[in-house]
Amino acid sequence: MELIGTPLIKFNVRRCEPELISPAKPTTRELKPLSDIDDQEGLRGHVSFIHIYRNDPKMRNVNPASVIREALAKVLVFYYPLAGRLKEGPARKLMVDCSDEGVLFIEAEANLTLMQFGDVLHPPFPCLEELLYDVPGSSGILDSPLLLIQVTRLLCGGFIFASRFNHTMCDGQGIVQFMTALGEMAQGASTPSTLPIWQRELLFARDPPRVTCTHHEYDELAETNKDKIVTSDNMTQKTFFFGSAEVSALRRFVPAHLQHSSNFEGDSGIMICIYLDTPVMERFVKELNKMVGHDNEHKVHHDKKLHYVSRL
């Protein structure tokens, strides 16, 4: 595998055989309908995430893959629908068969250090297929594992945690809640601090349906407007990193009563990948740099393969 966007580096990933991780204890066998929102065609896909961890000297003799594997089995006791399989009923209604068949887990190791990745460590991630192996037969929506995890250990002692979720089962907030619970179990907790609640029946349509407002966001575009649709030919993708200094600067533009509503603190960082019409992106970057007080030295740098900012 060769990295793109950094001096030419070749590396190999050695993967163990994928395994199915089931809940550590027996759970309720049941069929749980998804909400009518979850049934949308646009959500019938997978979303992937990468979490990168530096070497921690206190974890020198600990295999992170073993810790995560054990924690995964424990957390699935509480999140047991994720260990099931999606089925389709009448009118393509989605439901999850809570069968405890398990989620896919891969332990791997790569022959390079975190530093050798260079500037590749932000979206778009060119070597994702090495760090999140697409197990044959696992990427379907129905009758396929709902979660895939690969933990790749690096030579420096750090590791990369990559995951792929079935989007009909989790939205962004749900994924954060699950990942938080997984982290808590990996650190020795016996129960997640926030327990999951299904209750998707609250988002079922009324029977018979009763329309109370018009949702124009679902209107079809008129034929005459097709020439105004932004296409990928004039779009730009850039990745922005917001460190503590940038977050503090942006807080000045937030109403006073909301300035302390975030739990962002310390040396944390937030990385956001944005896709915009190219002229809009140029104006966005210019105004953003003004807001955080960056001079020309910290403006956006990019090459043909990777778009990123040095500080922001």
| pLDDT tier for residue 121 given thresholds of 50, 70 and 90 | low
Handedness of CA 202, 203, 208, 213 (dihedral sign): positive
Measured between its terminal Cα atoms, the distance across the chain in Å is: 29
| pLDDT tier for residue 5 given thresholds of 50, 70 and 90 | very low
- 288 or 268, higher pLDDT: 288
Kindly report the number of other CB atoms within 10 A of residue 157's CB atom.
17
**17-36 confidence digits (pLDDT tens):** 999 999 999 999 999 999 99
Residue 312 has pLDDT above 50, yes or no: no
Residue 250 has pLDDT above 90, yes or no: no
| pLDDT tier for residue 120 given thresholds of 50, 70 and 90 | low
> Domains of the chain (ranges plus CATH)?
13-203 (3.30.559.10), 231-309 (no CATH)
**154-200 confidence digits (pLDDT tens):** 999 999 999 999 999 998 889 999 999 999 999 999 999 999 999 99
